[in-house]
């Protein structure tokens, strides 16, 4: 109740208490992003408690990983965050490469940057569109999917798949780009760039959208760090952390020489914020609006990175090199690596006993930690705010349940 009972006179006071009611939101519910089940304790329209129940999509991916070779497990990472499968592939591939102390060719490195940044755009587009759905507007979802479709077309050309790519793999990528791909990618980026202003008009600056998101579900900086939030959720709370810049050497080396600014509010300003709509007066750092806005900024940032990667990839001579054999034996030891995935910091842990099959495989899900703050954020909000808050965390159940 504290959230609603503040001194803000605009906020309606809810002092009528009625009987409490337990309501199941999900696992079959339009706005729980898959099969999340939220148990709401409601008093009329006010939600006093939210308890997420997870596990409806558990497929024992980690246990399966202990029965497959390292490269054979790549398709299982596709099915974790299925909206950003490229980034998942990269996380596992880099973790194993860290274990092997393997370095891919420069051309493969730039191609990985290009592909994962496109994957980030695609993932954020879904996040943006689905967030519109959560708030009751249908059209941005289809606009977002229209652009995502073009990214999927590009991916399909590169690797043959549209959702579960298994494209980035241990030791490089499964194939090089087909001829003409870079031009088509550039054409897409050129066409996509002006459309972002439309998204800002439809959602970011829309009066109703601002009313529904500004000041709702405020996640303080400290709480975000305590709960281990990551990605746009963390940056939306004003924590300046992005593993592409702050991560481990093997990951940041990928972005060596790339120019980008972390999308986070510093001294009351977002990077290059003169190009974007002003932060609404009602918005508080760490609320749903900021989390959404950080994602929108990251789309632009990823476009920049993709353009830089195109130039670097094109200037590289030679081939991307061959990926490792499916049955490649790994040195004994263990390695853990977190990468900056669209939803947050996704970590992969691999323990090897020297054979071709890992002894243990574990994954650290970013959505899991991000979802963990939902009960805190939803305390005392209205029923309509629950989808708004959970949607702003942009979770993917495939990654949480694995």
Least distance from C-beta 284 to another protein, angstroms?
17
Nearer to another protein, 202 or 284 (CB): 202
> How many CB atoms neighbour CB 262 within 10 A?
19
Helix 85-100 vs helix 106-134: angle between axes, to the nearest 10 degrees? 140
Task: Show the DSSP H helices in 135-230 as ranges.
Answer: 139-159, 181-192, 195-199, 207-213, 221-226
Contact 50, 22 (CB under 8 A): no
- Tell the smallest beta-carbon distance from residue 64 to another protein (Å): 34
Nearest to 181 by CA among 310, 84, 318, 319: 310
Q: Of 47, 345, 341, which is closest to residue 216 (Cα–Cα)?
A: 47
Least separation in angstroms between residue 390's CB and another protein is 10
Shorter beta-carbon distance to another protein: residue 202 or 351 = 202
CB distance 402 to 62 below 8 Å? yes
Nearer to another protein among residue 12 and residue 249 (C-beta): 12
Determine the Cα–Cα distance for residues 170 and 306; give it in Å rounded to an integer. 21
Q: Identify which of residues 187 and 208 has a Cβ nearer to another protein in the complex.
A: 208
172 or 387: CB nearest another protein: 387
CB 216 to another protein: min, Å: 9
Q: Is 379 exposed, middle or buried (0-12, 13-18, 19+ CB in 10 A)?
A: middle
Q: How far is the CB of 134 from another protein (least distance, A)?
A: 5
**What are 369's two structure tokens?**
């930690």
**Gap between the terminal Cα atoms of the chain:** 34
Q: How far is the CB of 229 from another protein (least distance, A)?
A: 23
Residue 74, token pair as written in the block: 């790549």
Contacts (Cβ under 8 Å, ≥6 apart) of 216: 287, 288, 289, 381, 385, 388, 389
Query: What are the structure tokens assigned to 351, written together?
Result: 């323990």
Conformational region of residue 355, where left means phi above 0, alpha means psi within -120 to 50, and beta covers everything else? beta
Chain contacts with another protein (rule: CB under 8 A): 11-12, 21, 23, 29-31, 44-45, 132-139, 142-143, 146, 202-203, 206, 208-209, 211-212, 382-387
* Minimum gap (Å) between residue 261 Cβ and another protein: 29
Nearer to another protein, 97 or 134 (CB): 134
Shortest Å distance, C-beta 280 to another protein? 14
Residue 352 φ then ψ, to 5°? -120, 140
Gyration radius (Cα) of the chain, Å: 21
Nearer to another protein, 45 or 156 (CB): 45
Burial of 205 (0-12, 13-18, 19+ CB in 10 A): middle
**Closer CB to another protein, residue 132 or residue 171?**
132
Q: CB of residue 37 vs another protein: minimum separation in angstroms? A: 13
Nearer to another protein, 139 or 183 (CB): 139
């Amino acid at each position: 109740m504290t959230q609603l009972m503040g001194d803000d006179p605009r906020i309606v006071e809810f002092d009528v208490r009625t009987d409490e009611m337990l309501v199941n939101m999900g696992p079959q519910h339009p706005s729980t992003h898959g099969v999340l089940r939220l148990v709401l304790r409601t008093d009329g329209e006010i939600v006093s408690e939210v308890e997420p129940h997870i596990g409806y999509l558990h497929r024992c991916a980690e246990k399966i990983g202990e029965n497959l070779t390292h490269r054979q497990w790549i398709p299982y990472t596709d099915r974790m965050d299925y909206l950003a499968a490229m980034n998942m592939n990269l996380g596992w591939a880099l973790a194993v490469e860290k274990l092997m102390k393997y370095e891919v060719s420069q051309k493969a490195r730039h191609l990985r940057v290009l592909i994962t940044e496109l994957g980030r755009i695609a993932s954020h587009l879904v996040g943006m569109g689905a967030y519109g759905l959560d708030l009751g507007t249908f059209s941005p979802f289809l606009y977002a999917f229209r652009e995502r479709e073009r990214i999927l077309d590009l991916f399909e050309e590169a690797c043959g798949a549209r959702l579960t790519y298994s494209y980035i793999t241990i030791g490089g990528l499964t194939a090089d780009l087909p001829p003409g791909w870079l031009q088509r990618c550039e054409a897409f980026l050129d066409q996509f760039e002006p459309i972002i202003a439309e998204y800002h008009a439809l959602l970011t600056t829309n009066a109703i959208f601002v009313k529904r998101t500004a000041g709702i579900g405020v996640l303080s900086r400290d709480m975000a760090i305590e709960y281990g939030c990551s990605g746009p959720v963390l940056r939306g709370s004003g924590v300046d952390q992005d593993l592409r810049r702050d991560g481990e050497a093997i990951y940041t080396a990928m972005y060596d020489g790339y120019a980008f600014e972390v999308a986070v509010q510093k001294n009351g300003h977002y990077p290059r914020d003169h190009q974007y709509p002003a932060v609404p007066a009602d918005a508080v750092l760490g609320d749903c609006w900021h989390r959404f806005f950080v994602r929108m900024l990251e789309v632009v940032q990823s476009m920049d990175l993709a353009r830089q990667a195109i130039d670097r990839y094109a200037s590289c001579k030679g081939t991307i090199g061959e990926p490792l054999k499916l049955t490649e034996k790994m040195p004994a030891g263990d390695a853990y690596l977190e990468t900056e995935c669209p939803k947050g910091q996704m970590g992969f842990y691999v323990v090897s006993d020297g054979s071709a099959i890992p002894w243990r495989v574990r994954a650290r899900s970013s959505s899991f930690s991000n979802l963990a703050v939902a009960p805190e954020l939803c305390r005392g909000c209205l029923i309509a705010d629950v989808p708004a808050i959970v949607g702003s965390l942009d979770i993917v159940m495939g990654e949480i349940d694995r």
